[in-house]
Structure 1
Amino acid sequence: MENTYVLTLSCPDRPGIVHAVSGFLFERGGNIEEAAQYNDHATGLFFMRVQFACTQLSQAELLEQLTAFAAPFQMQMGLHPLAQPMRTVIFVSKEGHCLNDLLFRWKSGLLPLDIRAIVSNHRDFYQLAASYNVPFHHIPVTAATKPQAEAKQLEIIRGEGAELVVLARYMQVLSNDLCRELAGRAINIHHSFLPSFKGAKPYYQAHDRGVKLIGATAHYVTADLDEGPIIEQDVARVDHTDTVEDLTALGRDTESQVLARAVKWHGEHRVLLNGHKTVVFK
């Protein structure tokens, strides 16, 4: 695992890209262990994820040579050591089911993460954080103190070197500036099947409309509320006898599973941005 990497790339589509990438790795002693590709005919873009082992070059040497290789193809490219878990900070408010699920999966070795901190605008889960030996930061947020609170949050994110921020039912809207700072590395779980029932109290909206399916959506955070690129979704069946409380209780399991899948795929570098959509190499 020490010499195993994940290469992700996207570029304008043209013949010979797969041949060029595999040839580049072969010439440097690379052994491809897993590969996936996608051609988006609507945008003319090509996407690829390659997992490979290479002992002949260091990571720095690989990255330098890959950067030169990528330039003629106009590639956006990333090289990630497989053995290095992704440094992560989790935000939460007063609903702890997603946080609890992520922590359990992480400690069970099911998520390729290094959870560095938990940030909350309430104190409810400091004991849960302590039971997993994760630092807990209580940062209250009001309309008047939001800029100062976000400055503290950003200080923690930067201080921990976080590559991923997970909004595990963090019921605060991030400012445009913070959204831009975290672009492509902040995942939110929204408790509805987007684009239906955006914003606050989606289970109330769903109940009011008499839906027969409720859902959950994990998506990247953008300045446009609940409109970021979607990573994963799922649904649960309900009927006319279910109350709002029933929908909320049933939805917790769906939310937890959807968020865990999205976080796992992101941590394994299986999610590539494609404009306002994503390419997910499962």
Structure 2
Amino acid sequence: MHRRFVLTVTCPDRIGIVAVTAGFLATHRCSITEAHQHHEGDGFFMRLAFRAEDAAITAAALEAAFAPVAREFAMTARVHDAARRPRVLILVSRFGHCLFDLLHRWRNGQLAVDVVGVLSNHDDMRSFVEWNGLPFHHLPVTAETKATQEAAILRLVEDGQADLVVLARYMQILSPALCAALAGRCINIHHSFLPSFKGAKPYHQAHRRGVKIIGATAHYVTTDLDEGPIIEQDVRRVNHARSADDLVTLGQEVECAVLARAVQWHVDHRVLLNGQQTIVFD
């Protein structure tokens, strides 16, 4: 039996990174099964999937052994156990299409994660979530209760040991404090092809402008509204005969697909942050 791992590396670009990393893996009786690398400015980004001959070796042991190499090359390096299922908390409001899609993929094994629960500021999705055998957390929010509600969200993240928070059309703006606490591990789906049509009702904004394509954007959440590093986008062509409601319906299909791909790539460790950009090894 082979154990499978993923190594992700971000560091300044210099000669010898690939060679020393491949040599390290060979020395530890590991075979590379998939390799991606990218140069961007002065930076270097790499994702290596590999299998280890030693069935007893762990990700922590490999990462510790790799630490001297990481220090020498000023790397941010992580070794991930491919068998470990990331833990995900989903936040939703009253629009359920992205939630329905994610839980369908989770139930049929397409999305290899453990969903630790679903949280909403409305009670609409309770029956569906509980039918799927998942905990449902109803946390209403107002301007006066926002700080208390967000503290409860963070406790759920911590208690559930969630690796990722997914805003599946959670129609609330997170505070700077919560954005900071979830930095790099909170994905939002925005129902527009950013940077166009930010904020509320983007499909209606697009309809008023007579656009010929609509789209959706999955991005990491930051304190800048709808401006976090973009992970995935897609579009659908429309014409003058489409109503604003038609655009909403078509857009929801795009949103589901875009969010699912972004979540899948994140949990597969295929997304590396580069400031306000992402490097995606899809």
Q: TM-score, normalised by structure 1?
A: 0.97
1:211 is matched by which residue type in structure 2? V
Question: Mapping of 1:114-133 within 5 angstroms?
Answer: 114-133=114-133
Name the CA distance, whole Å, in 2 between partners of 1:210 and 1:191.
17
Question: Mapping of 1:129-148 within 5 angstroms?
Answer: 129-148=129-148
In structure 2, the residue corresponding to 1:65 is in which secondary structure?
A: helix
1:33 Cα deviation from its structure 2 partner: 0.8
Name the CA distance, whole Å, in 1 between partners of 2:53 and 2:228.
38
Name the CA distance, whole Å, in 1 between partners of 2:2 and 2:229.
32
Verify the 8 A CA contact 1:8 1:48 in the aligned structure 2: yes
User: Does 1:234 find its partner at 2:231?
Assistant: no
Extract unaligned runs of 5+ from structure 1: none
Name the CA distance, whole Å, in 1 between partners of 2:235 and 2:58.
44
Deviation string 1:19-58 (CA, Å, 9 cap, x unpaired) is: 1110000001011111110011xx3100000011114333
Aligned match for 1:49, one of 47, 50, 54: 47
In structure 2, the residue corresponding to 1:95 is in which secondary structure?
A: coil
Name the CA distance, whole Å, in 2 between partners of 1:76 and 1:58.
19
Partner of 2:19: 19
In structure 1, the residue corresponding to 2:14 is in which secondary structure?
A: coil
1:2 Cα deviation from its structure 2 partner: 6.5
Deviation string 1:143-187 (CA, Å, 9 cap, x unpaired) is: 000000001110000000001000000000000000000000000
Partner of 1:67: 67
Partner of 1:102: 102
1:242 Cα deviation from its structure 2 partner: 1.2
In structure 1, the residue corresponding to 2:71 is in which secondary structure?
A: helix
Verify the 8 A CA contact 2:2 2:52 in the aligned structure 1: no
2:151 is matched by which residue type in structure 1? A
1:69 Cα deviation from its structure 2 partner: 1.7
Tell me the number of residue pairs that the alignment of Structure 1 and Structure 2 aligns.
280
Verify the 8 A CA contact 1:192 1:216 in the aligned structure 2: yes
2:230 is matched by which residue type in structure 1? I
Extract unaligned runs of 5+ from structure 2: none
Name the CA distance, whole Å, in 2 between partners of 1:46 and 1:94.
41
Partner of 2:262: 262
Verify the 8 A CA contact 1:112 1:268 in the aligned structure 2: no
In structure 2, the residue corresponding to 1:149 is in which secondary structure?
A: helix
Percent identical pairs in the alignment equals: 54
Q: TM-score, normalised by structure 2?
A: 0.97
Partner of 1:220: 220
Question: Mapping of 1:146-225 within 5 angstroms?
Answer: 146-225=146-225
Q: Please say which of residues 138-147 and 59-68 is displaced more in the overlay.
A: 59-68
Name the CA distance, whole Å, in 2 between partners of 1:61 and 1:109.
29
1:68 Cα deviation from its structure 2 partner: 2.2
Verify the 8 A CA contact 2:193 2:216 in the aligned structure 1: yes
Q: Please say which of residues 90-99 and 241-250 is displaced more in the overlay.
A: 241-250
Cα-Cα RMSD: 1.0
Verify the 8 A CA contact 2:187 2:221 in the aligned structure 1: yes
Verify the 8 A CA contact 2:60 2:79 in the aligned structure 1: no
